[in-house]
Amino acid sequence: MKEAFGFTPDQYVWFGGYPGAATLIDDELRWRRYITDSIIETSISKDILMLTRVDKPALMKRLFELECGSSGQILSYTKILGQLQDAGNTTTLTHHLRLLDTAGLLAGLEKFSAEMVRRRGSIPKFQVHNTALISAQQQHSFQEIASNPAQCGRWVESAIGAHLLNHTRTDAINLFYWRQGNHEVDFVLEHKGKVIGLEIKSGHTQHASGMAAFVRQFKPDKVLLVGNSDIPWQEFLELEPLELFG
């Protein structure tokens, strides 16, 4: 997006990486309409329904909107059920989320654990495949969010998560999150038995207490603070994640 359309890192974090929408960013109303109609609606109404039978397409769309708005958050299926009408059960929600992930819209990251069984039974952390999917559903404009560091941090974390998530499709990388009590690590990468912990701090605060607890428990091969300390987030978005394991 930088080379083809001249996107700045801030623009990429907000407008995402859909080439078809890149020429519309100066008119955010048209840009939102493109993302909603050509990406979201088409993926849910056509692509997913071609993959499998979905009894309640309207529920899947509502689920996507809710979970997309929760990108970067750890949210149990039980809480989601409480916010949806006629949602069925947690098995239905898990199945719908898997379809959304297959369609390249939204994934549920598993909690990192040394035991595979605990990973699969964990509460998911929602992660969009492209930050445009979040921005297109916002009432705020790019300028309003860009001028608010506290708000902007959420988009930076989601952009880095999307960057990592999309590389799991092409590289032999597994992506997780980790949380224990009050301690949390934003992302955990696993590749050929090696483990790297990543904490995203785009604002002034560059301290990550969860890292110390993660190191004590798992003794990872590497931990990185993505922000102003170890590596700026703008540079991280241009990295090939596999390079971190070198």
**Pairing outcome for strands 106-111 and 125-128:** antiparallel
Spatial distance between the Cα atoms of 190 and 212, rounded to a whole number of angstroms = 18
Query: Each residue of 84-132: pLDDT tens digit?
Result: 776 677 787 888 889 999 999 999 999 999 886 666 668 899 999 999 9
The angle formed by the CA atoms of residues 199, 203 and 206, to the nearest 5 degrees, is 50
Computed over every residue of the chain, the mean pLDDT equals: 89
Segment 25-77, tens digit of pLDDT: 999 999 999 999 999 999 988 888 777 777 777 778 888 888 888 888 888 87
CB-neighbour burial class of residue 55 (10 A; exposed 0-12, middle 13-18, buried 19+) = exposed
Q: Is the pLDDT of residue 166 over 80?
A: yes
In this prediction, residue 203 carries a pLDDT of: 64
* pLDDT value of residue 80: 83
CA 89 from centre of chain: 24
In the numeric block, which tokens belong to residue 45?
């109404």
Q: Does the pLDDT of residue 147 top 80, yes or no?
A: yes
Query: CA 77, CA 70: separation in Å to the nearest integer?
Result: 12
Q: Percent of the chain at pLDDT above 90?
A: 60
pLDDT tens digits along 188-235: 999 999 999 999 987 655 567 799 999 999 999 999 999 867 899 999
What per-residue confidence (pLDDT) applies to 7? 97
Which of 48-52, 149-153, 171-175 has the weakest average pLDDT?
48-52
Dihedral sign computed on CA atoms, order 133, 139, 143, 146: negative
